Structure 1
Amino acid sequence: MAGTTSFVKKLGNSVKKVSDHKSSSWWYNHHMRAASRAVSHRIPLVDFVLEVRDARIPVSSEYGHLRYFPSSSRNIIILNKMDLASHSKTKEWMAYFKEQNYISYAINSHNKDNVKEFLNFLQAKVRDLRRSMHLSDTHTTTVMLVGIPNVGKSAFANSLHQIGRVTAAEKGKLKQAKVSPHPGETKDITSLKIASHPNVYIFDTPGVLPPEIVDVERSSKLALTGAIADSLFDQTELAQYFLSILNLSHEYKKWGKFSELDKENQILNDHTQDLVVQAVRRALFEEIFAFKGNLEDENDMVQLIEAQFTTLRKVLNVNSDSFDAANSIVASKLVNLYRTGRLGHYTLDSLPSTYY
């Protein structure tokens, strides 16, 4: 979309500078290099590989190292964080993967029923494998989770583990994978039991990015969804990119029928409170609705985003002597609201034009 181009380039180039800086302590550091080697070594040894992707970016969050291994019915694409993506777009992406002969499954790793359904699906696959290969009852099935940072592998592994405990003896001995909202926190391969009779174990692996990302659009999407550490670039660039997406979407139109807010009960210092979220939505809606420019024109888009930042500083009660510092605070809050789904559900990757 033309109105987002300048923001994509600006953010994508910032990410590229980080990836080009080989001395960076975060980007493809020794932990990622070691993890990449360990995962590549183990993939041929496990029974199933679950490639966890972010449902908001089904292609941009691809785990590139799997390209070095042949596609197999034992490889399953997990579209995690489906609750943050467009429901209709997720269905379209799953249909696309099916047409490409990939098995895919949409997941919200925090939804117990959804995870239980997937575990039943996986156990059916395990039974099929055992029958086709004439495996003994004592054979332990192994499943490996792979993916880029912050797609929710550890949260998914923990959910499978908790739901998969089936005997009283296993309860109370819960071994959890480390979960963090920050990318790159998992450093080692962790084994968790997710089923008994027969035994099924899942390996949670560290997130690994490619050594270099040259596509600025993909870089921007990875940054916005949190696959790359926020500390590596300006939060304002992230928020500007998100607002350019919001302004060209239909999500904001859902916010036009809000009743007058009870401002006396607003907790202005906590941007996650429902009343404040509603105030943010209302403010963004009114700015877009009142804007008379052409949002496909980048200069007009910049003008609208500047107006939105001015309004949000007031709505979020952000006071600072520094203009840049105030904008940075607003940006951080705005990005958090986007990432937690409070400002709508967006799928950033578009299906190939040849698919339609």
Structure 2
Amino acid sequence: MVGTASFVQNLGNSVKKVSDSKSSSWWYNHHMRAASRAIFQRIPLVDLVLEVRDARIPMSSEYGQLRYFPSSSRNIIILNKMDLADRSKTKEWMAYFKERNYIPYAINSHNKDSIKEFLNFLQARVRDIRRSTHSSDTRTTTVMLVGIPNVGKSAFANSLHQIGRISAAEKGKLKHSTVSPQPGETKNITSLKIASHPNIYILDTPGVLPPKILDAELSAKLALTGAVDDILIDQSELAQYFLSILNLSDEYKNWAKFSTMDDDGAATSVGGSSGGSELHKKENQIVNDHTQDIVVQAVRRALFDEISAFKGNMVDEKDMVQLIEAQFTTVLRKAFNVTSNPCGDATGMVAAKLINLYRTGRLGHYTLDSLPRSHM
């Protein structure tokens, strides 16, 4: 699921241009270079490496430096943000990695039960390693988290730390890693205790991207999922790329219950006298807050109706561009209640709201990477 070619190329080329720019203060800056060296030096010294990937892009979010180290039973691939990905596709990717002798594990770092289950799994792996190497029961085990920016390493480390301390009944002020929706916030390697008996410490490391990205499709996926700082990317390109993915998927069909289609199959206008505006006026709802359920429903309804009523060919590039133009400049403005304002950026506002809803799972669950053809 990669979207329409023109939107992939537009967004991908924008990201590539940033990565090629030597004047960029964010892309592979001195923090990333220093972190990359430090991680490379420490990987051989730790007991386990947890490579955290984004479950929406299981292959595209690979941490390239691990290619320099042989795959072994001491490397575990963590597919984080499983709650945002297509569940059936995540199972397929898990099977794919297992067939290639990797140890995969899918998690939601914000779900306590998911973290508890993984912590039990990790402790069992540590015990197995100790038995196989005849290590002392009192020896401390060190686990390193690695990954590209914004795959959720710090949130994962903090959750493990919190659940681990509660399970071990340890008291005291909680040390934690910095968590931010913006990629690249972690600057240093942080050590957190996550288990006792045996003692296990986890090293949270900064996210590192390769110095350059040559593939436009890969660049587009990294940008859409938030691995690249949004300030570097045209948000309208990001939103249009997402719409090209949504339009080619079946996700919108789940929103049929929100439809305002009449008996003849014609879509009524969201935001009109009988559409979204009535919903927006409900008590205690904030019209301009796109995270309100009533607004999210209006967006789903608008997209469902527009796609369902579309008579063109989705596979045809020109037809897809025509549909996205209508969705982006007319339908979504009404659904989000964004009015044209000479002093404001209506297009940017619509794009930012749409991307936020996608990234928080309010507009469906998408796995952007397809399995290699040889596996399908």
1:271 aligned to which of 290, 313, 330: 290
Q: Which residue of 2 aligns with 1:211?
A: 211
In the TM superposition, what is the alpha-carbon distance from 1:320 to its structure 2 partner? 3.2
Contact 2:144 2:204 in 1 (8 A): yes
CA shift, 1:307, in A, is 0.8
1:71-122 deviation digits (Å, cap 9, x = unpaired): 1100000000000000000000000000111100000000100110000000
Match of 1:30 in 2: 30
Instruction: Tell me which amino acid in the other structure corresponds to 1:206.
Output: P
Alpha-carbon contact 1:2-1:298 (below 8 Å) kept: no
Label 1:259 to 1:15 Cα distance change in 2 as closer, same or farther (>3 A). Answer: closer
CA–CA distance in structure 1, aligned partners of residues 252 and 301 of structure 2? 9
Give the structure 2 partner of residue 141 of structure 1: 141
Q: Equivalent residues in 2 for 1:160-175 (5 A)?
A: 160-165=160-165, 166-168=167-169, 170-175=170-175
Structure 2 residue matching 1:143: 3-state secondary structure? strand
1:332 paired to 2:352: yes
Measure, in 2, the Cα distance between the counterparts of 1:107 and 1:130. Answer: 25
Deviations 1:152-171 (A, max 9, x none): 00000000001101444x32
Q: Which amino acid aligns with 1:211?
A: P
Quote the Cα distance in structure 1 between the aligned partners of 2:116 and 2:152: 16
1:285-300 matches, cutoff 5 A: 285-300=304-319
Distance 1:80 1:338, change over 3 A: same
Q: How does 1:70-219 map to 2 (within 5 A)?
A: 70-165=70-165, 166-168=167-169, 170-219=170-219
Q: Distance in 2 between matches of 1:186 and 1:27?
A: 14
Runs of 4+ residues deviating >6 angstroms: none
1:325 Cα deviation (Å)?
A: 1.8
| Mapped partners of 2:369, 2:168: distance in 1 | 42
**Counterpart Cα distance in 1 of 2:231 and 2:259:** 38
1:258 positional shift: 2.3
Percent of residue pairs identical: 79
Structure 1 residues 323 and 346, CA gap change in structure 2 (3 angstroms): farther
CA deviation after TM superposition for structure 1 residue 259, in Å = 7.1
Task: Letter of the 2:370 partner, please give it.
Answer: S
Tell whether the 8 Å contact from 1:175 to 1:192 is kept in structure 2 after alignment: yes
Deviations 1:36-77 (A, max 9, x none): 000000000000000000000000000001001111100000
Unpaired stretches in structure 2, ≥5 consecutive residues: 261-275
Separation (CA, whole Å) in 2 of partners of 1:198 and 1:303:
60
Distance 1:110 1:2 in 2: 27
- Compute the TM-score of the two structures, normalised by the length of structure 2: 0.92
The whole-number CA distance in structure 2 between the counterparts of 1:43 and 1:181 is 26
Note the C-alpha offset of 1:2: 8.8
Residue 225 (structure 1) aligns with? 225
Question: Cα RMSD over matched residues?
Answer: 1.4
- Structure 1 residues 147 and 3, CA, compared in 2 at 3 Å: closer, same or farther? closer
Paired residues, what number? 355
Cα deviation digits, residues 132-190 of structure 1 (max 9, x gap): 1111122100000000000000000000001101444x323210110000000000000
Once the two structures are TM-superposed, the CA of residue 233 in structure 1 deviates from its matched residue by 1.5
